[in-house]
Amino acid sequence: MNRRAVVELAILSMLICGVVRAESATMPRDTATRANDVKVSVEAVFDTRAADLFPPGQVDLKNWGTRSGLAVDLQFQGEAVKNVSEIGPAMVFEATDDLNESLVKERSPATRPASEAKPQMYPVDTGDAARPPTTFARLRSPGRRATKIVRLRGEIPVIAGGERKTVEITDLPSRFGKFLDDPTLTQAGVKVWIDAHKDRGAKFADLLFKFSGNESAIRDFKVFEGNEEVPTGSGYGTHDPKIISVEHAITKQTVLRLFAVVNEKRLTVPFDLSDIPLP
């Protein structure tokens, strides 16, 4: 390859990288609708300030106890966020204290590559309908002499609306090793494959799951033997296949109920707040 071709290739590579990067950075926000008419306010501020005092090298207590950081609890109200089912942590683009120090964390979602920026969403406690939904922004702990956050700007990812549906899977042993064929799961955009460990004895079983597509549409599961609910482990785990331990053998009478949500809306709620007093 001659010198000119190398230079052209390098320029082309930089251009491609630039384009890809620009697209990636906007991707997560493009998939959601902006809800501009939502009022966001500060509910509480927590400043955790930790320091190791032991002579370095003698005892390592870095992973013991809490780390330094500022958390701002945000609550929001508005027509667009009625029936909120899930909220993510606030993505902070700007945060400055009155000493002019930036409080944005180095690894804040806003500064991460788009592939990592997909926020972890948390289910909303719908027990108290009068209480507006809340989330939090994580920031760096400000200097001791700072007295307020001068500006806090960002976005909150929200999932609202949607219809809850129950998918009932009967005759479980005949479904093992296959994807479940169910119209609700298709509507929710998720494929679910199930199987079981065969060697857990007469009293226990492990159900194995693999998901593809919109896994977050599956909100919960329950296992029944006839009409009686069977105790299960609390969650799926994080790696495929995901495992639920069941305190009962799986028989033809065992029923798996998956609770799914269909037709939900993904929104982002922008916020721009000023002069938040520090505790």
Partner 1 sequence: MKPKDFLCLAVAGLLTLAPCYGGADTNDQLQAALAKITETRDSKPERGSTQIVLTVSGPAAKRAEAFANFRVDQAADDAGENLVPSDHLTLAINTRINDVFRVKRSDGVPSFVVDGLIRTPSRQATKIIRLVGQVQVMTLSDENQSIIIPKLANYIAKSRANKDLASKKLTLEIGIDNGDKTRLFTNVGGNPAIVRKLQIIDDNGRVLEEGGFNPGFTLNTKSCFFALPRDVDDRMSLKFEVAVSQKVITVPFDFKDIPLP
> Would you put residue 9 in left (φ > 0), alpha (ψ -120 to 50) or beta?
alpha
Q: Could you tell me where the beta strands, DSSP code E, fall in 113-253?
A: 122-123, 134-139, 148-169, 178-179, 190-197, 205-213, 218-225, 228-230, 242-246
Mode of pairing for the β-strands spanning 91-97 and 254-277: unpaired
Contact 150, 97 (CB under 8 A): yes
Residue 152, H or E segment: strand 148-169
Site string for partner 1, 143-172 (x = CB under 8 A): -xx-x-------------------------
In angstroms, rounded to a whole number, what is the distance separating the alpha carbons of residues 175 and 277?
57
Beta bridge mates, 245: 206
Smallest gap from Cβ 103 to partner 1, in A, equals 14
Contact call for residue 6 and partner 1 (CB under 8 A): no
In the list 23, 30, 37, 60, the residue contacting partner 1 (rule: CB under 8 A) is 60
Mark the segment that binds partner 1 (CB under 8 A) among 33-41, 63-71, 162-170, 185-193.
Answer: 63-71
Half-sphere exposure of 19 (CA within 13 A, CB side): 5
Contact call for residue 34 and partner 1 (CB under 8 A): no
Mark the segment that binds partner 1 (CB under 8 A) among 55-63, 81-89, 194-202, 267-275.
Answer: 55-63
In the list 2, 4, 22, 66, the residue contacting partner 1 (rule: CB under 8 A) is 66
Which strands make up the sheet holding 178-179, listed edge to edge? 178-179, 190-197, 205-213, 242-246
Contact call for residue 52 and partner 1 (CB under 8 A): yes
Site for partner 1 in 218-237 (CB under 8 A): none
Q: Which residues lie below 8 Å from residue 86, measured CB to CB, with a gap of 6+?
A: 121, 122, 123, 124, 158, 159, 216
Q: Considering the complex, state which of residue 45 and residue 121 has its C-beta at the smaller distance from partner 1.
A: 45
Contact call for residue 131 and partner 1 (CB under 8 A): no
Mark the segment that binds partner 1 (CB under 8 A) among 22-30, 141-149, 177-185, 191-199.
Answer: 141-149
Contact call for residue 277 and partner 1 (CB under 8 A): yes
In the list 2, 3, 4, 65, the residue contacting partner 1 (rule: CB under 8 A) is 65
Contact call for residue 45 and partner 1 (CB under 8 A): yes
Contact call for residue 206 and partner 1 (CB under 8 A): no
Contact call for residue 58 and partner 1 (CB under 8 A): yes
What distances in angstroms separate CA 172 from CA 178, 246, 247, one per listed residue? 11, 13, 15
In the list 10, 15, 61, 99, the residue contacting partner 1 (rule: CB under 8 A) is 61
Residues near partner 1 (CB under 8 A): 44-54, 57-61, 64-66, 68, 141, 144-145, 147, 277-279
